[in-house]
Amino acid sequence: MLAKNESGDVEFTITRHFKFPPELIFDAFTKPEHFNQWFGPTGSTVIKSSIDLRPGGLNHFGLKMSDGLALWGKYIYREITPPKRLVYVQSFSDEHGNITVHPLSPTWPREMLTIITFEKINDGTQLCIRWLPINATEEERSTFNAAESSMNQGWGGTLDKLVEYLSNNKF
């Protein structure tokens, strides 16, 4: 869902309920042994991930898409509050970690603020991902504002992979 936040900026929000505890969902986002097994859009696989989980730390990762294209990205962590909250700046990158434009959408924002909350709800976790462009040009903000369907599809497929991973493993 796209909506204006309290600052007046447009942000994308997706929420999903999991039947697993917040600690496990948090670990799935922050520990390589989990992250590498599920992260990325449908049909992709993680080919590299190095997670330095601390404020200012970095997760530099590569994904191989189903068509063979390699996509690289990185997170620079801002806030880590296990198992409740994770905040980072997300960018596309090259294999060396240099920020690049989105390989399929050159006017996509170069930096996205990602805020993830993991709330214990009865029998599981309510996961909420908030995503908004930062340091973006007007053209980049327009591209973001027009991409709700793509963001729902991308994040939705990624979270579907997380559900499958968690459901098929014993923790």
User: Average pLDDT, stretch 7-13?
Assistant: 84
Q: Is 100 helix (H, G, I), strand (E, B) or coil?
A: coil
**Residue 6 reports pLDDT greater than 80:** no
Record the pTM.
0.94
User: How high is the pLDDT of residue 119?
Assistant: 98
d(C-alpha 46, C-alpha 35), whole Å: 8
| Average pLDDT taken over every residue of the chain | 95
Nearest C-alpha neighbor of 74 from the set 103, 112, 36: 112
Nearest C-alpha neighbor of 74 from the set 65, 45, 56: 56
Q: Name the fold adopted by 17-164.
A: Alpha-D-Glucose-1,6-Bisphosphate; Chain A, domain 4 (3.30.530)
d(C-alpha 148, C-alpha 154), whole Å: 10
Every domain of the chain and the residues it spans: 17-164
C-beta of residue 1 within 8 angstroms of C-beta of residue 128: no
User: Average pLDDT, stretch 42-68?
Assistant: 96
Label residues 86-105 b or e (16+ Cβ within 10 Å = b): bbbbbbbbeeeeeebebeee
CA-to-CA separations, 162 to 35, 53, 110, 131, 139, in angstroms, rounded: 9, 20, 25, 18, 32
**Residue 7 reports pLDDT greater than 80:** no
136 token code pair: 């973006």
Confidence of residue 21 (pLDDT cuts 50, 70, 90): very high
Nearest C-alpha neighbor of 118 from the set 163, 88, 148, 83: 83
Q: What is the pLDDT of residues 87-120, one digit of tens each?
A: 999 999 999 999 999 998 999 999 999 999 999 9
